[in-house]
Amino acid sequence: MLRITLIVGVNIMSICITAGAGPQGYPMGFQFWRDPGPFVQFLGIDGSWGRFLGFWRVPSSAAYAFSNVEDISVAAAETQNPRHNIPKAAKRVFWRFLMFYLITICMMGLIAPSNDKGLVSN
């Protein structure tokens, strides 16, 4: 419940900041999606290869957020009618991932530019 509360709170905060409740005091809208854009050069590698590496760096860094999918199999021993309930729970994982994580990534893209120095950790 704590993780879900945090994700919902971050999304609400992102909407408020984008609408103008942030420290700048003006509505930001989609300005960071236009300038600098969603893709930047990764580690100074020029061209499309640098943008490709930058894009694939994100899933490898954020894999921890989706690492507890195996909890479905752990709960199978404690579930009534596991042949019915476990496949149902496994199908819901996709929608939860889509709802919580991908929407949150888009919302974070509204308030943080892709070339921000704080996003890169070497």
CB 38 within 8 A of CB 118: no
Stated pTM of the model: 0.64
Domain boundaries defined on the chain: 2-38+69-114
CA 108 to chain centre: 7
Instruction: Tell me the pLDDT of the chain (122 aa) as tens digits.
Output: 888 898 889 999 999 998 988 787 888 888 888 888 777 777 778 888 888 887 787 777 666 666 666 666 666 777 788 788 878 877 877 777 777 778 888 888 888 887 777 776 65
Three-state SS for 51? helix
